[in-house]
Amino acid sequence: MKRTCMAVVLAAGESTRMKSSRSKVLHPVAGRPMIAHVVESLVGASISSVALVVGRDADAVTAAARRDDIDGSAFVQTERLGTGHAVLAAREAIARGYDDILVVFGDTPLITAAPLMAARRGLADGNDVVVIGFRTADPTGYGRLIIENGALLAIREEKDASEDERKISYCNGGLMAINGAKALDLLGRIGNANAKGEYYLTDIVEIARAAGGKAIAVEAPETELTGCNNRAELAAIEAIWQKRRRHEMMVSGVSMIAPETVFLAYDTRIDPDVTIEPNVVFGPGVTIESGAVIHAFSHLEGAHVGAGAAVGPYARLRPGANLGADAKVGNFCEVKKAEIGAGAKVNHLTYIGDAFIGARTNIGAGTITCNYDGVNKHVTQIGANVFIGSNSALVAPVSIGDGALVASGSVVTEDVPEDAVAFGRARQEIKPGRAKLLRERYQAEKAKRQNK
């Protein structure tokens, strides 16, 4: 849209019902503060500027909402005197002059750009106030939208509604758009002549109409307007977000055997023709290329999985894990800050950290890269077509050349040239009959202790 728009995001609540040491809007949904979800939707609705009304944890809330592609400013609300009062905390920003002013809440992370754009179109059509509402089978507790001939006459709180008005299922979602040229005048006319002595933003509908303006309502899905007041509601919002995102991915070509057991992060990117088995968790920063399979009970964060690669079951990819095409990380393996080359295999009970593994290399079961000396991390370099025998310890910094072979049970502390065989273990010795003598000695010692 060519019209300019600023969003006032109300995020100054005390979050009392969350019973938390941090602001409610900082609590994560899909690994991201809920206020960041709200701001992303604003960007999608072509909002050019955001005014944050903050209180508790003001600096942290401002940082969580910050984006490079949108101008932002923060205003501290020192008193809690209602929603109308909260919006006017951003008076300075509103006065800069915008065609549209959007008022949204920082605890509605499920909102999308579509209803926000619909509200803006309502202003473009000549209305002074556009309220975003929703329809519900149980409107108990919500303010009702009083509509007549398409016009919004008022928002009636349930305690003030007549019996017929309480039957209305079209409810106030709290979000609204206001004509920017009239916003300060309309907001300034909101009074506090009510039982609580607060300034209610909902009064702006009747104020605008009394001044000769027009007001309408636009409808959004009920779930998009879901707010968060406690931990139970936070969990419900998470479930809705996950279900919505899983559906989007499956429609785009991702296979999920038991989708309800897969948990995604806000930025998880999965290409078509990827298969996700049950009970997989994605932390932030994961990309999965086409043809890959993520087997059951795996956890991935900050990782890249190449085309045709396989992970798990019961594998963990930590930040910096980068699997090449057709690579394999198998059961009970952990990979951190490591490059796994194309076709390489890390199959069983293995830890690979701060390492580079070449193409088609095989890492035997129980192998570990000893990357930490108690103070610093060190790198292990393993070339292509290398075979690392089971139960080996590679003590970094160390390099193993292309085509080399490390014997099972070795502790490798020196570089291994290409095509060499490395033995890093003691020579085996056989002591005939010694086991029988040791058993007899141990049994005698045990009997002696028991007889004391």
d(C-alpha 368, C-alpha 335), whole Å: 10
For residues 392 and 364, the answer to whether their CB atoms sit within 8 Å is: yes
pLDDT in tens, 237-285: 999 999 999 999 999 999 999 999 999 999 999 999 999 999 999 999 9
The pLDDT of residue 438 is 86
The pLDDT of residue 430 is 84
Residue 15: band (very low, low, confident or very high) from pLDDT cuts 50, 70, 90: confident
User: With pLDDT > 90 as the criterion, what percentage of the chain qualifies?
Assistant: 86
From 295, 304, 348, 378, the catalytic residue: 348
The pLDDT of residue 425 is 85
pLDDT in tens, 277-306: 999 999 999 999 999 999 999 999 999 999
Whether the per-residue pLDDT at 451 is higher than 90: the answer is no
The pLDDT of residue 429 is 85
Query: Facing residues of 105 across strands?
Result: 10
What's the whole-number mean pLDDT along residues 26-46?
Answer: 96
The pLDDT of residue 364 is 97
Whether the per-residue pLDDT at 210 is higher than 80: the answer is yes
**Torsion sign over Cα 8, 13, 19, 21:** positive
378 labelled catalytic: no
User: Can you tell me whether residue 295 is helix, strand or coil?
Assistant: coil
The pLDDT of residue 222 is 95
pTM of full prediction above 0.85: yes
For residues 108 and 10, the answer to whether their CB atoms sit within 8 Å is: no
The pLDDT of residue 160 is 86
Residue 78: band (very low, low, confident or very high) from pLDDT cuts 50, 70, 90: confident
d(C-alpha 138, C-alpha 89), whole Å: 33
pLDDT in tens, 306-362: 999 999 999 999 999 999 999 999 999 999 999 999 999 999 999 999 999 999 999
Whether the per-residue pLDDT at 30 is higher than 80: the answer is yes
CA end-to-end span of the chain:
92
Whether the per-residue pLDDT at 1 is higher than 80: the answer is no
Whether the per-residue pLDDT at 428 is higher than 90: the answer is no
Question: Letter for the amino acid at 364?
Answer: G
Q: Find the DSSP H helices in 91-153.
A: 91-94, 113-124
**Torsion sign over Cα 188, 48, 30, 335:** negative
Whether the per-residue pLDDT at 194 is higher than 90: the answer is no
Which domains are delineated in the chain?
5-225 (3.90.550.10), 231-422 (2.160.10.10)
d(C-alpha 15, C-alpha 29), whole Å: 16
Instruction: Specify the range with the lowest mean pLDDT, choosing from 179-183, 194-198, 389-393.
Output: 194-198
d(C-alpha 341, C-alpha 274), whole Å: 19
pLDDT in tens, 380-423: 999 999 999 999 999 999 999 999 999 999 999 999 999 999 99
Whether the per-residue pLDDT at 35 is higher than 80: the answer is yes
Instruction: Specify the range with the lowest mean pLDDT, choosing from 15-19, 165-169, 239-243, 384-388.
Output: 15-19
Whether the per-residue pLDDT at 16 is higher than 90: the answer is no
